[in-house]
Structure 1
Amino acid sequence: MVKYKRGHLYYPEIPIHKVLEETAKRIPDRPVFLYPEDMTFKKFKDQVDIVATALKNLSVKKGDRVALYAPNSIPWEISFFGLEKTGAILVPMNPLFKEIEVEYELNDSGAETIIVSQHEYINVAAVKDKTNIKNIIVIESEEKPEIPEGTIGWSELLSETKSNPPEYEFNVKEDLAALVYTSGTTGLPKGTMLTHFNMVSNIIQVSPTFELSELDIAMTVLPLYHIYGLNVCMNQAILLGAAQVVTPRFKVKEFCELIEKYKVTYSLCVPPIFLEVVRHLEDPNIKGYNWRNLKIFNNGAAPIPLELLERFDKLAKEKCNAKDATIQHGWGLTEASPVVAVNPIYRRKMESQGTLLSDTFHKIIDLETGEELPERGQVGELVIKGPQVMKGYWKRPEATKDAFWIDPKTGEKWLRTGDMAYIDEEEYEHLMDRIKEMIKYKGWSIAPAELEDLLFKNPHVFDAAVIGKPSTEMDIGQIPKAFIILKPESKGKVTEEEIMEWVAEKISAYKKIREVEFVDNIPKSSSGKILRRELVQLEKNRLGIK
């Protein structure tokens, strides 16, 4: 029995694009965007219908995958709802991706259509012939509006398409809305299959925890390709009818100014944003801002030091007039669309990850026996279930099977979070460590296996192991460190810096290896698995961390 569960909510069985349609019907003349341009919900929906029509005209049909590879923008949001109305499945791609990553996700998802910003188009062009891509829609840049040959311009698509969108029947508990790729500790990134019901349920679950409405103004700064930005920032705002201030990337001065100028009432953030804002506001040359309308500043995606939250809270109130702002902290994972728990506004326990959302349940299981640990305070693996939990991993039946724990008493499926945790007497969750060996760098998830796979392609590398080395800087978390055994003929002929530079040229900037150590051996189990925990402990010992 969950003592402080939030109760049961009603979850309409509608596809995600119907959330927009319902809001546009309810408040057609209210603003959906304030920045970078004004737009009403009615105009937004009309443009969504045009994009849905254009995709239909390109033979995109229900169940097809459509990739979206661009920074945050109004066209990004229009594209999302347009492709969803076409019955397609979103494949959101990080705009920092380079060729090898673009090629992998396009081929793994089987996408035949991609909507890409002009700046990122060069990477699509480089791998197009190695994929199944047939249609390329380019969102033009203001600096260089000419579109490449063989592509379709976004502006042309909107101006020359007569609205006649398709209408499909959806089985929302089975039909996929998105394939959101998440890195695993074994193998390459996996596509998390999120249904329409998963995504709609989670925004309905989350909204009451923030106490927001159509009178609020959202700062949409988190990347929309990430499930936190996609569902909690964008889709929640659309459900509420809240106006959005959309920025392509975080720039601390612009961020602070936009909150003041547009009277932003809530912003969903990650630890690096908190730290950058604190450093900015602590600068004696910064006089401060007027954030008197700010109500909620929420942290997610990665744990955050309490000291940093306290510094932010103090500065926001003293230098920015944010007298009514509440700092919140919660957590989730891609496989849960993503939110699982949030600290209640009026009963915060910020050293924890918060209490469960409505209709979400949790247990702690013993790592050795797989049995439930019923007493509160016992440490084991946290497992959860709820309407927001994924269908499984795309084309990965074994990984899907391994992702769930079957309760031996009831036969129910519970998602294995991969987190060592305990639940306290008031039902707050406390995450302690990762069972899975994902590297968490500034809120980004980085798969050691992906970096190791790349390192093995280097002509000097004989063997390699990558770990997350604990960082002493509060906003970083861990840095990717590689332990490398060089080939005999390469010893003394290549430096650590040269290896790091080689990796940096081939992968997104946030995934870069930031430290290399040449070693003579790498600890492995009898079955050949890298014993990363031994390497992590080695680094902790060197740093004096218990």
Structure 2
Amino acid sequence: MATKSSYPHQNPIDALLDYLRSRPNDTFLIDERGVALTYSDLYNTASRLANSLSKFDIGHGDKIAIVMSNSVEAVISLFATWILGASAVLIDPLTISEDLDYQLSDSAPKAVIADKSVIERERAVLSKYRVIGVDISGQGVLSFQELLNSGSPTGLRPIEVRDDDVGLIYYYAGIAGRTMQVWHTYFSLYSGPYAFGEAIGLGPRDSVLVVAQLSHILGLTELMSAFVRGSKAVIARHFDAKDTPELIRRYGITVFAGVPLMFDQILNNKDLSPNALSSLRLALSAAAPLPPTTQLGFYQRFGVPLVQFYGLTEAYVLTVQPIKYKDITGTVGSAIPGAELKIVDPNDPSKELGVGSVGELAAKAPWIMKGYSDPEDTRKAIYNGWLLTGDLMVMDDKGLLYFRGVKKRMIKYKGYPIFPRDLEIILMRHPAVKEAYVTGEQAEDPNIGQLPVAYVVLRDEYKGKVSDKELIDFVNSRVAFYKKLRKVYFVDKLPTK
């Protein structure tokens, strides 16, 4: 099923130039410190940074890695990258050690813009790159603030880009089942968020709270939806169950998106009064199934509709649940404007399945990824123009979708995607490991999701000489906190994959 959309044919810099002409002094962005940027401020600061970066021979088609928590500086860095016609490589600031080294060496950025905490933790990895630090300089690190101050906003016109030029690169290839580059175009950076904003009625009177990280598609979609739809965005460095309601109150937030665990934590905050979130007109949940008890409990306590939406790194957002959801809990919704969805045979995508049949969700939309860095994996993921999501669903006669499982190999922990293959590759580097298979075990708290565990076959000469703790430590010293292995089971034969 599909719904129509009529969005402007633009990219983010086109839109920013339009705002400069129509509403330059309106506030677009505020952070939790109270630092505010008008559209004019955003253009001028991003232009100054772009001007300084251009002196390092960074321009059209180059890559700039941004390894930062949510902040005004992160947003300025994004727009400076796009003014240069370059690709922004968004890397989770929790990424460590070999994981970070792989993503940087694979993308080969001409500059890395990073938070102080990332630079201090990862100096060895970052020593190979031109590093620009926020709140830190010296010892081979350039100062973000000094670059910003030294750049001139005049004499640097935004580089013209084609619709299919790559403007955004993520490292969450969920369909492929391993970490690799996911390419999004300049056009999709506008069209995908615009369609999502249209689906939820986002407009100039809205204020959107962004707490999901920009280094994940949820956070970026929320920020860019606010931008392209002319709404105000308030950006928080991290989610905090106590601070978030205060931010909602202080800034009159009308729309807030997060993962189910965030809403459970807000519900568990007994100090909140029933009108604590009174400015909200809509709350949205994604990245993991939303329990009906959370959905209805949130509405009953705060009077705010909490609805599910569905998306993935390769496709921004594809569905939103109807706001009048009381009789249809459990659905992830129907197609947003501009998206076409169908259910196909998981073993033969040429066969479309009917209403009520479980199959793989296939999607077509103008904002679907351009592809992966690996052409073969791109061919596997896109069939005759349709993205094969790897998610198993059922569609009813109203076009509403119900999640039924996954075809792809992925673990979800607190909404974070974990690719078992990445952990298996690290385990196989240990000299004692002959074979390894990583899967997810359901946590005691269903809202946490799954915990990564490994089944390991040891080489004969290491049997009885290597502990499970040694292998767990070997992996966990190399990956972000959410990817950490929780158990290792020694077996003589791997489970059937």
TM-score range, shorter chain: over 0.9
Number of aligned positions between the proteins = 493
Q: C-alpha distance in 1, partners of 2:123/2:273?
A: 46
Q: Which of 299, 307, 310 is 2:296 aligned to?
A: 310
Q: Which of 469, 480, 492 is 2:464 aligned to?
A: 492
Query: Contact between 1:102 and 1:123, CA under 8 Å: does it hold in 2?
Result: no
- The Cα of 1:347 is off from its aligned counterpart by 5.6
Cα 1:96/1:41, change in 2 over 3 Å: same
- The Cα of 1:153 is off from its aligned counterpart by 0.4
**What's 2:131 paired with?**
136
**What's 2:207 paired with?**
217
Deviation readout 1:175-207 (Å, 9 max, x if unpaired): 111111114576741211101111211122111
Q: C-alpha distance in 2, partners of 1:493/1:449?
A: 25
Q: Which of 63, 66, 69 is 1:65 aligned to?
A: 63
Q: C-alpha distance in 1, partners of 2:176/2:286?
A: 24
**What's 1:11 paired with?**
8
The one-letter code of the counterpart of 1:266 is V
Q: C-alpha distance in 2, partners of 1:448/1:185?
A: 12
> Where does 1:494-533 land on structure 2 (aligned, <5 Å)?
494-523=466-495, 531-532=496-497
**What's 1:168 paired with?**
159
Query: Contact between 2:307 and 2:325, CA under 8 Å: does it hold in 1?
Result: no
Cα 1:346/1:304, change in 2 over 3 Å: closer
- The Cα of 1:107 is off from its aligned counterpart by 1.6
- The Cα of 1:123 is off from its aligned counterpart by 4.9
Q: C-alpha distance in 1, partners of 2:161/2:454?
A: 46
Query: Contact between 2:208 and 2:256, CA under 8 Å: does it hold in 1?
Result: yes
Q: C-alpha distance in 2, partners of 1:237/1:66?
A: 23
Q: C-alpha distance in 2, partners of 1:512/1:107?
A: 22
Task: Look up the SS of the partner of 2:408 in the other structure.
Answer: coil
> Where does 1:464-479 land on structure 2 (aligned, <5 Å)?
464-479=436-451
Task: Look up the SS of the partner of 1:58 in the other structure.
Answer: coil
Task: Look up the SS of the partner of 2:234 in the other structure.
Answer: strand
Deviation readout 1:302-327 (Å, 9 max, x if unpaired): 22211122222223x2xxxxx3x221
Q: Which of 191, 198, 204 is 1:208 aligned to?
A: 198
Residue 243, structure 1, aligned to residue 232, structure 2: yes
Cα 1:508/1:374, change in 2 over 3 Å: closer
Task: Return the TM-score normalized by structure 2.
Answer: 0.94
Task: Look up the SS of the partner of 1:372 in the other structure.
Answer: strand
Query: Contact between 1:183 and 1:445, CA under 8 Å: does it hold in 2?
Result: no
Q: C-alpha distance in 2, partners of 1:278/1:51?
A: 41
**What's 1:332 paired with?**
311
Q: C-alpha distance in 2, partners of 1:24/1:275?
A: 40
Q: C-alpha distance in 1, partners of 2:23/2:251?
A: 20
Q: C-alpha distance in 2, partners of 1:186/1:456?
A: 20
Task: Look up the SS of the partner of 1:433 in the other structure.
Answer: strand
Query: Contact between 1:209 and 1:344, CA under 8 Å: does it hold in 2?
Result: no
Deviation readout 1:98-134 (Å, 9 max, x if unpaired): 12122111121121211111110135531245x5x3x
Deviation readout 1:231-277 (Å, 9 max, x if unpaired): x2111111233222221111111112211222211111011211221
**What's 2:23 paired with?**
27
Q: C-alpha distance in 1, partners of 2:252/2:5?
A: 33
**What's 1:438 paired with?**
410
Q: Which of 340, 353, 358 is 1:361 aligned to?
A: 340
Q: Which of 276, 279, 283 is 1:290 aligned to?
A: 276
Deviation readout 1:117-165 (Å, 9 max, x if unpaired): 1110135531245x5x3x211111xxxx5x1322210111122222132
**What's 1:266 paired with?**
255
**What's 1:402 paired with?**
380
Task: Return the TM-score normalized by structure 1.
Answer: 0.86
Cα 1:185/1:370, change in 2 over 3 Å: closer
Residue 345, structure 1, aligned to residue 331, structure 2: no
Cα 1:461/1:186, change in 2 over 3 Å: farther
Larger CA deviation: 103-112 vs 35-44: 35-44
Q: C-alpha distance in 1, partners of 2:165/2:68?
A: 25
Q: C-alpha distance in 2, partners of 1:423/1:185?
A: 20
- The Cα of 1:216 is off from its aligned counterpart by 1.6
**What's 2:429 paired with?**
457
Deviation readout 1:318-344 (Å, 9 max, x if unpaired): xxxxx3x221111011111x1001112
- The Cα of 1:26 is off from its aligned counterpart by 2.3
Q: C-alpha distance in 2, partners of 1:498/1:100?
A: 18
Q: Which of 242, 254, 276 is 2:265 aligned to?
A: 276
Q: C-alpha distance in 2, partners of 1:155/1:236?
A: 27
Across the aligned residues of Structure 1 and Structure 2, the Cα RMSD in angstroms comes to: 2.0
> Where does 1:361-400 land on structure 2 (aligned, <5 Å)?
361-394=340-373, 396-400=374-378
Q: Which of 78, 81, 85 is 2:79 aligned to?
A: 81
Task: Look up the SS of the partner of 2:308 in the other structure.
Answer: strand
Deviation readout 1:1-26 (Å, 9 max, x if unpaired): x3xx43231331x2222223323432
Task: Look up the SS of the partner of 1:516 in the other structure.
Answer: strand
Task: Look up the SS of the partner of 2:485 in the other structure.
Answer: coil
Query: Contact between 1:34 and 1:245, CA under 8 Å: does it hold in 2?
Result: yes
Q: Which of 105, 115, 118 is 2:116 aligned to?
A: 118
Larger CA deviation: 69-78 vs 365-374: 365-374
Residue 257, structure 1, aligned to residue 246, structure 2: yes
